[in-house]
Amino acid sequence: MAGRYDAVRVADRVYWVGAVDWGLRDFHGYATHRGTSYNAYLVLADKVTLIDTVKGPFAEELLARIASIVEPRAVDYIVSNHAEMDHSGALLRLIEVARPDKVFASRMGVEALREHFGLAEVEAVADGGRLDLGGRSLTFLEARMLHWPDSMLSYLAEERILFSNDAFGMHLASSERYADELDPAVLEQEAAKYYANILLPYSKLVPRLIEKAAGAGITPEALAMIAPSHGPIWRREVGTIVNWYARWAAQERGSKALVVYDTMWGSTEKMARAIGEGLMEGGASARLMPLRASHRSDVATEVLDAGALVVGSPTLNGGVLPTVADVLTYLRGLRPQGMVGGAFGSYGWAGEAVNQIENLLAEMKVERVQDGIKVRYVPDETALEQCRGLGRAVASKLREARGQGSGA
């Protein structure tokens, strides 16, 4: 048995019935330092409607929270905004217990639920379509590729609540259900991390979704709440998270330069530190991220507003260190736009790692500021000065990009 779990009332006849996953530290490769929540919502209209479910292992908790308000058998409709398993993993169990009259999803969601679970009876809702719940209604907004083809948002007009699923969410476990009860700095940090790691590749679609919602009258000013499927609900200053999204989608880049590296015997680290000194001399904000101490998803978060990405690896067996291959593969998939950068590393025989990093940076369309720096065995003072020079060159490029001239 799941034990006692209560629903949380969030509006008139609307309840949070989700689950908090306090111990989660890895979400498909994203380090969730603060855990997460899977938010599901129950709307008590004539047709009792559940919006989304939770990750599979939390199915009984979801059922217990529903049961604190109504018998799960009273659920008439289930709306699946998104088929990814963290929201649909408990769907089969809910269907088994609640036996709803209907399950709804976007057109692509119907396909995804069929292919994931063999569900044949899911009904498609149209983009912009309205579902009458009896005394309440839901309007659906497709959000294709934000971040799956099936993703959609549901709007409860009578309470002015946007159930936004992954959009505007964050991985943050808390007993507080509302953003205004939490530290604003933590909210911005975790929302930025979520955006960088989940939504960044689809940034061009974000302003289009905001415009499309506005076209349907769903603006931050008109909304009473944004209720995402991870992290807290926004009920005050709802525009805050929407404005953050607009800023992150624009990929505005500042004077921050990342130096991301790993090292075998300390030579590449000496180079990294010299590059950092050069960046600071040039007026950039340097952030060194040694990969033994920096998770790939934290690097991605820093990339969100960094102007430069400088990557270093010694050569190991003709290639880069596995940690460096990992982070570059991950970042390439996130498709950040508009950065400058460079490569560096120590070697013993041929120094292939630097060329491989340059190729990967080129694939990511990171503009190379100068040729990569290779140092045999251990950097001497001349080599370290070259590294400081790379740092200064990157800083100069960042100043130019910000219209502050190239400086001395």
Please give the Cα distance from 65 to 116 (Å, whole number). Answer: 25
Nearer to ligand FEO, 148 or 347 (CB): 148
Tell me whether residue 230 is one of the annotated catalytic residues: yes
Q: Interface with ligand FEO includes 47 (CB under 6 A)?
A: no
Nearer to ligand FEO, 3 or 23 (CB): 23
Q: What are the strands, taking DSSP E only, across 255-333?
A: 256-261, 285-290, 308-312
- Token code pair at residue 26: 């890895």
In 3D space, the residue among 142, 137, 104 whose CA is nearest the CA of residue 123 turns out to be 104
Please give the Cα distance from 57 to 44 (Å, whole number). Answer: 25
Nearer to ligand FEO, 27 or 261 (CB): 27
Shortest distance, CB of residue 80 to ligand FEO, whole angstroms?
11
Query: Could you tell me how many residues of this chain bind ligand FEO (CB under 6 A)?
Result: 9
Q: Interface with ligand FEO includes 142 (CB under 6 A)?
A: no
What amino acid is encoded at 301 in this protein?
A: T
- Exactly one of 47, 87, 177, 253 binds ligand FEO (CB under 6 A); that residue is 87
Nearer to ligand FEO, 167 or 291 (CB): 167
Q: Could you tell me where the DSSP H helices lie in 107-200?
A: 107-117, 184-194
Tell me whether residue 166 is one of the annotated catalytic residues: yes
Which region, judged by CB under 6 A, interacts with ligand FEO, from 42-50, 81-89, 124-132, 231-239?
81-89
Nearer to ligand FEO, 22 or 377 (CB): 22
Please give the Cα distance from 258 to 361 (Å, whole number). Answer: 13
Tell me whether residue 84 is one of the annotated catalytic residues: yes
Cis previous bond, 171, omega within 30 = no
DSSP, collapsed to helix, strand or coil, labels residue 169 as: coil
What amino acid is encoded at 71 in this protein?
A: E
Helices (H) and strands (E) in the chain, counts: 12, 22
CB 46 within 8 A of CB 37: no
Show contacts with ligand FEO in window 253-312 (CB under 6 A): none
Q: Interface with ligand FEO includes 81 (CB under 6 A)?
A: no
Q: Interface with ligand FEO includes 86 (CB under 6 A)?
A: yes
Which region, judged by CB under 6 A, interacts with ligand FEO, from 61-69, 82-90, 133-141, 315-323?
82-90
Task: Give the per-residue contact string, 214-233, with ligand FEO (x = CB under 6 A; - = no).
Answer: ---------------xx---
DSSP, collapsed to helix, strand or coil, labels residue 389 as: helix
What amino acid is encoded at 134 in this protein?
A: G
Nearer to ligand FEO, 40 or 133 (CB): 40
Tell me whether residue 147 is one of the annotated catalytic residues: yes
For 400, the enclosing helix (H) or strand (E) is helix 381-401
Please give the Cα distance from 39 to 55 (Å, whole number). Answer: 10
Task: Give the per-residue contact string, 317-346, with ligand FEO (x = CB under 6 A; - = no).
Answer: ------------------------------
Tell me whether residue 86 is one of the annotated catalytic residues: yes
- Catalytic residue, chosen from 21, 166, 302, 358, is 166
CB 213 within 8 A of CB 207: no
Radius of gyration of the chain (CA): 24
- Exactly one of 21, 61, 166, 298 binds ligand FEO (CB under 6 A); that residue is 166
Please count the other Cβ atoms lying within 10 Å of the Cβ belonging to residue 407: 11
- Catalytic residue, chosen from 87, 171, 230, 295, is 230
Shortest distance, CB of residue 347 to ligand FEO, whole angstroms?
41
Residues at the interface with ligand FEO (CB under 6 A): 82, 84, 86-87, 147-148, 166, 229-230
Q: Which residues are catalytic?
A: 28, 82, 84, 86, 147, 166, 194, 230
